[in-house]
Amino acid sequence: MSTLLSGKVAVITGAASGIGRGIASRFVDEGAQIVLTDIDDDAGAALAAELGEHAVYAHVDVTTESDIAAAVALAADTFGSLDIMVNNAGAQGDPSSIIDADPDGFDRTAALLTRSVLLGHKHAARRFIAQGTPGSIISTASAAAIQGGWSTVGYTAAKHAVVGLVRQAAAELGPSGIRSNAIAPGIIMTPIMARTFGVEPAKSEQFMDFLAARLGPGQPSRRVGFPDDIASVATFLASDMAAYVNGTVIPVDGGATTVTLGTFATDVVAAAAEFAASQP
């Protein structure tokens, strides 16, 4: 690997599995020192041990502001500074539809997916400003932040709000040398996919292989995504190569949100043929 992040220090939330794990591993490969956080202490501690002296683990519930503040402080206390904040932690959240909306479930989803991103910005930005250094804040959005129909109303609204937060952060924090950008993953094969559909953990990999084979051919790039695809873009945004990139949302979805992924093309041909066949 290269050393795009040599000398940089990062906090990564939701780092014990999936996209967060992929980002954590890549950042260390690229020379960064990291505080990886999660609520799965066993998986988080195991990953920190695997990554060695360049990583430490901290239990962080991102719906609790003091936990986020403590992770930022830990980075500075352990490695001397903070350069990168990755707001990645999340879950599917409340499954309700609009017509059956559960206000409490909606609020919990917003706290996990949007308020946590706000608080990550707040405490990282305070640290950058106190240090007198520039910084990069990267937040995980979603294809559901760009289009409706990808998920439930709570998740979709919360991820759309992340995009608004990132754009506001660019306006407010840019003058202090702080960049805020988001990544919008499409169909990414992670354990959250299995959990979302109630698949037991022992069958998670089998389920993901099945989904990849079933869904990949329907994507413009003819495959699904993997955590390493997201980690590559996160590394770019965290590095000095992206020094003039601010307030952007980068879809990492193989082109899925760029085109209309439907059956219109074949449906219209079939309908025309059916019409023609019905004429005397």
Mean pLDDT value across residues 55-75: 98
Q: What is the pTM of this model?
A: 0.91
CATH class of 9-188+225-278: alpha beta
Rounded Cα distance, 193 and 48, in Å = 24
Per-residue pLDDT tens over the stretch 175-203: 999 999 999 998 888 877 777 777 778 88
Per-residue pLDDT tens over the stretch 150-165: 889 999 999 999 999 9
- 133-147, 155-169, 218-232: which range is least confident on average? 218-232
Q: What is the pLDDT of residue 264?
A: 56
Rounded Cα distance, 66 and 4, in Å = 31
Q: What is the pLDDT of residue 268?
A: 57
Per-residue pLDDT tens over the stretch 81-136: 999 999 999 998 999 999 999 999 999 999 999 999 999 999 999 999 999 999 99
Q: What is the pLDDT of residue 75?
A: 98
Q: How far are the Cα atoms of 12, 51, 78, 129 from residue 31, in angstroms, in the given order? A: 15, 11, 16, 23
Rounded Cα distance, 8 and 4, in Å = 9
Tell me the catalytic residues.
155
Instruction: Give the domain ranges of the chain.
Output: 9-188+225-278
